[in-house]
């Protein structure tokens, strides 16, 4: 992957540095120019006077006046320089990203009524400290809160961000179990069918229009689940968000875009927690939180992920392990509540947690964020602002010059282009020119999913322009209707890999930028066996990847699902944190609307 600054926006080529007047007030800039003009005119007048009369013969009055005028204008110049650059420098200071902390609770134990009380107390403990957390609620948990008449718990939860954590969590088949042998589209449909009702219940019972995020039960992950999020109402600010921990995919322990969603996942050393039941864990946990904050501060900011389950305060064993361990699937009538902690143990755990929170609050520069804040903290400028003509030329140039046809994420300024973004934008641009229209820059990417099947292995090397033109028209039609990268691109009866087609598109755009016309006479060179570099961030299928979760059968594997996950590497790219000043005002109000 290209070297990318994940932390803050690099200045675009030719844009303002800290001393650039473009970043300051226009009035001060005018004063600065006027004073420069003043210094120049004073100097010229002095020179003219001395030239015509000679320095010795010039009157003392003239000499003094000329010197004073020069001095006065110099002082003005320096003052204006100070005023004009100060805001720019201060802006640089403001732009220094903070250390964000996302605190999330998988709220899932629908068997223990004591878990309702633990959830209520956690909500209140956080609200008393003015901290908004993200509660990812299981569909069945929302339903039992309603059935048990716990309006107090529902009202307390509503002061926080509401996410989703599956309909029944650990009842078999779990998401990976039912997605394992699905393809792309039927997998999205299966996830929507299994989980959509639960998501609707959480939205209805908690009184929220949109769920802030989803995260899988245990390790029961699948790429089709991520793509299905808009269909089940998980899209704060219109952007699907995925918040959890796990290892199937990850990007340098920072937030990333993947399969159309903003993912806070696999944060590795930036994910921390304590065992609230273990007195020995508190001090090391506090130290670890401080160390992460110090390290991220040195890296100019970042995101810390901390998660708990309300049931950790009240149970001796996880509620689902008691019932659904290693593929067990007792009927609802036989579900058992897990063994509970004593009141004293629960109380001590709350005290420990309060101590842990207060420690994190005291770390300088930390800021609590929720899943619902993520789309504003990590805007995707390729979608919102779009690619400039220079960006597109640069994309084509870099793809064409990449050694060994290695297709990778490309970062230009604060805009980060996934391989799928590159294919979408270049296809649309070549299609416009082919249709005899000017490309309407900036060109926004709507966002494509990756292909739904591995590419064909056949390769064609050279094509006449008309065969390539017709293939491009076919790809354009495909992406407009299917919103994903085609698994194969047809050149008449032959199918080639979409990566090879992208390499050819880049060559065509390069030619167009250099010559102002398409290579109608020259024809097109297709790539051969282009590789998708971000595939390296998708895990290999191993017995532990899914079988490591105690609810799945030992050694349970999902190789087909991981193959689809690898194909979605087309969409993988780092999420770039907005400058801190940009997002603050746009963040949502901290308390949602009053319950109905
Ligand atoms: Zn869970």
Task: Tell me the pLDDT tens digit for each residue of 125-141.
Answer: 999 999 999 999 999 99
pLDDT at 80: 44
pLDDT at 460: 82
Output the CA 105–ligand 1 centroid distance in Å.
9
Quick check: 529 and 456 in contact, CB under 8 A?
no
SS3 of 208, please? coil
Output the CA 359–ligand 1 centroid distance in Å.
26
Output the CA 189–ligand 1 centroid distance in Å.
22
Quick check: 503 and 543 in contact, CB under 8 A?
no
Output the CA 313–ligand 1 centroid distance in Å.
15
The one-character DSSP state at 10 is P
Output the CA 560–ligand 1 centroid distance in Å.
24
Output the CA 137–ligand 1 centroid distance in Å.
9
pLDDT at 246: 97
Q: What is the pTM for the complete model shown?
A: 0.83
Output the CA 132–ligand 1 centroid distance in Å.
20
Output the CA 88–ligand 1 centroid distance in Å.
46
Output the CA 136–ligand 1 centroid distance in Å.
9
Q: Are strands 366-369 and 99-107 parallel, antiparallel or unpaired?
A: parallel
158-186 per-position pLDDT tens digit: 999 999 999 999 999 999 999 999 999 99
Q: Which CATH number fits domain 99-378+550-584: 3.30.70.980, 3.40.710.10, 2.30.30.60, 3.20.20.370?
A: 3.20.20.370
Which tokens is 434 given? Answer: 């082919």
Output the CA 461–ligand 1 centroid distance in Å.
50
Output the CA 217–ligand 1 centroid distance in Å.
4
Output the CA 458–ligand 1 centroid distance in Å.
44
Instruction: Return the domain boundaries, the chain.
Output: 21-94, 99-378+550-584, 381-537
Quick check: 489 and 456 in contact, CB under 8 A?
no
| E strands present in 276-423 | 302-308, 366-369, 406-407, 410-412, 415-417
Output the CA 32–ligand 1 centroid distance in Å.
60
Quick check: 144 and 163 in contact, CB under 8 A?
no
Output the CA 330–ligand 1 centroid distance in Å.
19
Output the CA 139–ligand 1 centroid distance in Å.
12
Output the CA 181–ligand 1 centroid distance in Å.
23
Output the CA 537–ligand 1 centroid distance in Å.
24
Output the CA 220–ligand 1 centroid distance in Å.
9
Output the CA 108–ligand 1 centroid distance in Å.
6
Q: How many residues does the chain have?
A: 596
Q: Show the low-confidence residues of the chain (pLDDT under 70).
A: 1-97, 580-596
Output the CA 134–ligand 1 centroid distance in Å.
14
Output the CA 319–ligand 1 centroid distance in Å.
10
- Which of 437, 405, 584, 426 lies closest to 509, judged by CA? 426
Output the CA 165–ligand 1 centroid distance in Å.
7
Output the CA 546–ligand 1 centroid distance in Å.
14
Output the CA 515–ligand 1 centroid distance in Å.
57
Output the CA 107–ligand 1 centroid distance in Å.
7
Quick check: 306 and 273 in contact, CB under 8 A?
yes
pLDDT at 78: 54
Output the CA 575–ligand 1 centroid distance in Å.
25
């Amino acid at each position: 992957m290209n070297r990318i600054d994940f932390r803050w926006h690099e200045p675009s080529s030719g844009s303002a540095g800290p001393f650039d007047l473009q970043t300051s007030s226009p009035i001060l800039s005018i004063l600065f120019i006027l004073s420069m003009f003043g210094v120049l005119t004073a100097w010229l007048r002095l020179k003219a006077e001395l030239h015509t009369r000679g320095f010795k013969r010039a009157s003392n009055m003239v000499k003094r006046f000329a010197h004073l005028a020069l001095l006065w204008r110099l002082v003005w110049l320096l003052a204006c320089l100070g005023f004009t650059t100060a805001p720019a420098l201060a802006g640089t200071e403001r732009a220094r990203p903070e250390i964000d902390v996302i605190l999330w609770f998988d709220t899932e134990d629908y068997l223990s009524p004591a878990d309702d009380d633990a959830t209520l107390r956690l909500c209140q403990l956080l609200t008393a400290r003015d901290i908004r957390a993200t509660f990812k609620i299981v569909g069945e948990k929302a339903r039992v809160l309603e059935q048990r008449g716990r309006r107090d718990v529902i009202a307390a939860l509503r002061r926080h961000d509401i996410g989703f954590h599956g309909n029944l969590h650990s009842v078999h088949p779990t998401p990976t179990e039912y997605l394992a042998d699905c393809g792309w589209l039927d997998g999205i449909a299966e996830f929507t069918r299994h989980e959509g009702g639960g998501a609707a219940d959480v939205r209805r019972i908690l009184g929220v229009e949109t769920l802030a995020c989803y995260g899988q039960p245990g390790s029961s992950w699948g790429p089709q689940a991520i793509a299905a999020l808009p269909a089940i109402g998980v899209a704060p600010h219109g952007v699907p968000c995925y918040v959890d921990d796990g290892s199937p995919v990850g990007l340098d322990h920072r937030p990333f875009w993947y399969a159309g969603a903003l993912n806070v996942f696999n944060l590795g050393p930036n994910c921390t927690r304590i065992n609230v039941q273990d007195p020995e864990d508190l001090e090391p946990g506090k130290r670890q939180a401080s160390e992460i904050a110090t390290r991220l501060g040195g890296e100019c900011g970042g995101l810390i992920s901390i998660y708990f389950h309300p049931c950790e305060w009240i149970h001796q064993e996880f509620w689902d392990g008691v019932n659904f361990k290693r593929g067990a699937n007792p009927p609802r009538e036989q579900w058992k509540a897990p063994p509970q902690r004593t009141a004293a143990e629960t109380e001590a755990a709350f005290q420990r947690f309060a101590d842990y929170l207060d420690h994190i609050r005291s770390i300088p520069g930390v800021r609590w964020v929720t899943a619902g804040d993520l789309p504003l903290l990590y805007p995707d400028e390729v979608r919102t602002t779009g690619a400039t003509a220079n960006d597109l030329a640069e994309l084509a140039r870099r793809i064409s010059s990449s050694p060994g046809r290695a297709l990778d994420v490309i970062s230009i300024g604060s805009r980060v282009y996934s391989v799928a973004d590159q294919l979408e934008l270049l296809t649309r641009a070549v299609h416009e020119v082919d249709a005899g229209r000017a490309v309407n820059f900036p060109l926004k990417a709507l966002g494509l999913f990756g292909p739904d099947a591995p590419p064909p292995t056949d390769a064609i090397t050279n094509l006449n322009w008309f065969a390539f033109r017709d293939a491009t028209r076919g790809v354009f039609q495909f992406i407009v209707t299917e919103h994903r990268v085609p698994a194969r691109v047809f050149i008449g009866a032959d199918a080639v890999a979409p990566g090879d087609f992208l390499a050819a598109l880049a060559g065509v755009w390069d030619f167009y930028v250099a010559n102002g016309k398409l290579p109608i006479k020259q024809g097109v060179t297709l790539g051969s066996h282009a590789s998708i570099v971000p595939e390296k961030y998708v895990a290999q299928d191993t017995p532990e990847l899914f079988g490591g979760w105690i609810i799945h059968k030992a050694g349970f594997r999902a190789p087909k699902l991981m193959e689809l996950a690898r194909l979605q590497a087309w969409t993988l790219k780092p999420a770039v944190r907005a400058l801190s000043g940009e997002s603050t005002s746009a963040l949502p109000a901290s308390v949602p609307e009053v319950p109905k």
